[in-house]
Homo-oligomer: A and B are copies of this chain.
Amino acid sequence: MVSLPKKIEITEVGPRDGLQNEAGLIPTELKIQYINALLAAGVRKMEVTSFVSPRAIPQLADGEEVFKKITKPKDAWLFALVPNLKGLERALAAGVQDIAVFTAASETFNKKNINLGVKESLEVIRQVVREAKGKVRKVRGYISTAWVCPYEGNIQPKKVLPLIETLLDLGIEEISLGETIGAAAPLEIQKLLEQALKVTTVDHLALHFHDTRGTALANVWAALEMGFYKFDASSGGLGGCPYARGAAGNLATEDLLYALHRMGMITGIDLEKLSQASLLMGRALRKTLPSRYLSTVGK
């Protein structure tokens, strides 16, 4: 029997990654209510919004207002996604203390997603991190398509490892590896993670799995067995990758919590309260959210 981590850190990405792909504009007040409900459920790491161009993502154009009005527990890390110096400026002006930056292991995905090659995106991250120094508490780094790219197919670990090293060198403490399209299975997950442990430790890596084909919790289990204890998830399973149409996207926080709690692991999050936060958003969106667990709870 393997030795499993006892305490799990979950980063809730529903308010940003989840809502970003919603077509209809969601009222700012509802977002605030939703985020506050997530915090009240015990979430202490959360991606709350993004300071990307409002023209690129109108859904998150209200980032300043959202950030200003949400409750801010002292022990909570409330990340805002910052794509560049302009975004950083807006984030800092709104009082943001924790930022997230992003790149992808796939050149094509990076170009289609943020219109920058991998190298260029690393240069932007370098600028942001340098400028943010002393002005923010924590920087989180995302590496999307760390296993599979919708354009390039399988991504080899040798493409991912140098990115991890570069982000670590920049002083980024936590790197979230994204299995962006929900295509990889446990063996692949473990293959990259074994390599990654040669350049860093489990303390510096979070895992961001998608449940497009039902593999997310299997991948979580495969990572837990290796000692990984940081996972991203989206309340209700909100959002996901627009390149996997009609399919579930992000691993639902409820499904993750259910399995972890069932195994006696500690997350600090109240599953029932979090489910209610998801249902609140689900009702507003008039959607049945994809979380499996949530479907056992009601509407």
Known: A217-B215, A218-B217, A221-B218. A295 touches B247 (CB 8 A): yes
Known: A1-B190, A214-B211, A214-B255. A246 touches B185 (CB 8 A): no
List, in ascending order, chain B residues with CB within 8 A of A260's CB: 185
Contact A185 B263 (CB under 8 A): yes
CA distance A213 to B291 in the complex (A): 8
Asked if A114 is an interface residue, CB under 8 A from chain B, the answer is no
Contact residues of A between 285 and 299, Cβ < 8 Å to B: 291-293, 295-296, 298
Asked if A262 is an interface residue, CB under 8 A from chain B, the answer is yes
CA distance A252 to B211 in the complex (A): 14
List, in ascending order, chain B residues with CB within 8 A of A220's CB: 218
Contact A213 B247 (CB under 8 A): no
CA distance A215 to B295 in the complex (A): 14
Contact B246 A214 (CB under 8 A): no
List, in ascending order, chain B residues with CB within 8 A of A295's CB: 246-248
- Counting chain B CB atoms within 10 Å of each CB, the highest count among A213, A247, A252, A262 belongs to A213
List, in ascending order, chain B residues with CB within 8 A of A258's CB: 185, 213-215
Contact B214 A296 (CB under 8 A): no
Contact A252 B296 (CB under 8 A): no
Asked if A187 is an interface residue, CB under 8 A from chain B, the answer is yes
Contact B259 A185 (CB under 8 A): yes
Identify 13 residue pairs between A and B in the complex whose beta-carbon atoms are under 8 Å apart, listed by A's number.
Answer: A185-B258, A185-B262, A186-B263, A187-B262, A188-B262, A213-B296, A214-B217, A215-B258, A215-B259, A218-B218, A218-B220, A218-B221, A247-B296
Task: Known pairs A186-B263, A245-B296; list 4 more (Cβ under 8 Å).
Answer: A185-B262, A188-B263, A246-B296, A247-B292
